[in-house]
Structure 1
């Protein structure tokens, strides 16, 4: 998505628990290794120590996630289906994330706030199920 103008691209980095489908880690930033590190740092320690991360082949993941905790996979494997579905849900429910939208954030803090507002509501919704 964009903040203020189309030159300011912003990416939402997400990590989910595949069993509960809860969002367990998030970082809003650019598409660099530094942002991948911040996503990894946002995960609770138990996930960093024991969870297994399935990602696409983006190079930043390979350099940040420890090799014994990481496996890059193609979409055809089905191992990234949950996160792809969540990305679609984000675009459906948070209007400022839709391409060609009239809704957009003028300030990064407002953009991050809208993302976190959605995440807390989404995780709370899963608690009720």
Structure 2
């Protein structure tokens, strides 16, 4: 029995060539006339809830999106769109989940990252509650007075009103944080050891923050959301 000739679904041209295979092993074709890529008898794959739950967990590990797509057997475009939607709907709380009454002390620090290329530096400003070990504030931007202002505004009101803040000697903190409740200290003091340790955790768990990586962010929005996504998980996983 003869089969119908393969034609482009866009322009109906029969000038078709093979163009590799897609993620599930099916032959991919390309039209020489209009450039359209397609497969024969395409079938929409339904991603079940178990796979989506697994993807949520893998996003919290140091695995690039291409690696996650290979592990769970989904296409990279679908995964990227799914992650974009998840990140867009991710809340940006300006407080912690288990805030306790009493004296509040925070440790603040900044860590270097980039988006697109290393020329586009994006500094991650963090504030960590010493008592609960939760991340109380996050801001991504320049390492300048504006960055310190962004971190300050990300803190819950109760921290801005009464918390004592320990930071390094970066001058931007002096311009923003109240002088009576702000102390600049060196690493040897141990007063910023918790937030410095979290910096290490963040780099180890979020692949786009590794210093030498091919998994860097292409969009600033996703860069910020990926950090928030891990912060949500980190805060929720701390013991009560």
TM-score normalised by the chain length of structure 1:
0.97
Higher RCO structure, 1 or 2 (CA under 8 Å, sep 6+): 1
- Aligned counterparts, 1:35-46, within 5 A: 35-46=147-158
> What is the aligned-residue RMSD (CA, Å)?
0.8
Matched, 1:96 2:177: no
Aligned residues: 128
Cα distance in 2 between the residues matched to 1:125 and 1:60: 32
- Aligned counterparts, 1:16-95, within 5 A: 16-95=128-207
The runs of 5 or more residues in structure 2 that have no matched partner are 1-112
Q: CA deviation at 1:50?
A: 1.0
Q: Per the alignment, in what secondary structure is the counterpart of residue 71 of structure 1?
A: strand
Q: CA deviation at 1:2?
A: 1.1
TM-score normalised by the chain length of structure 2:
0.52
Q: Per the alignment, in what secondary structure is the counterpart of residue 131 of structure 2?
A: coil
Q: CA deviation at 1:35?
A: 1.2
Q: CA deviation at 1:71?
A: 0.2
Query: Which has the larger Rg?
Result: 2
Runs of 4+ in 1 over 4 A off after TM superposition: none
Cα distance in 1 between the residues matched to 2:158 and 2:142: 26
